[in-house]
Amino acid sequence: MAVETGQAIITALYTRLTGDATMQSVLGASFGCYRVMAPVDPDLPYLVHRLSLNGDLLHGTHTYLLDLWYYGDDSATVDSAIDRIKILLHDWNVSTGNSEIGAGIMKWFSGGYIPTDAADVWHYATQWSLRMGAARDISNIVEA
**Is the peptide bond preceding residue 45 cis, with omega within 30 degrees of 0?**
yes
Query: Which residues are CB-contacts of 78 (< 8 A; sequence separation ≥ 6)?
Result: 68, 70, 72, 113, 122, 124
Question: 78-121, pLDDT tens digit by residue?
Answer: 999 999 999 999 999 887 665 555 568 899 999 999 999 999 99
What CATH number did the domain enclosing 31 receive? 3.30.2000.20
Domain count, the chain: 1
What number of CA atoms fall less than 13 Å from residue 112's CA on the CB side? Answer: 3
Distance CA 96, CA 5 (A): 7
Q: Domain containing 92: what range?
A: 2-140
Q: Which pTM was predicted?
A: 0.86
Q: 10-23 burial by CB neighbour count: b if 16+ within 10 A, else e? A: bebbeebbbebeeb
Determine the pLDDT at residue 140: 45
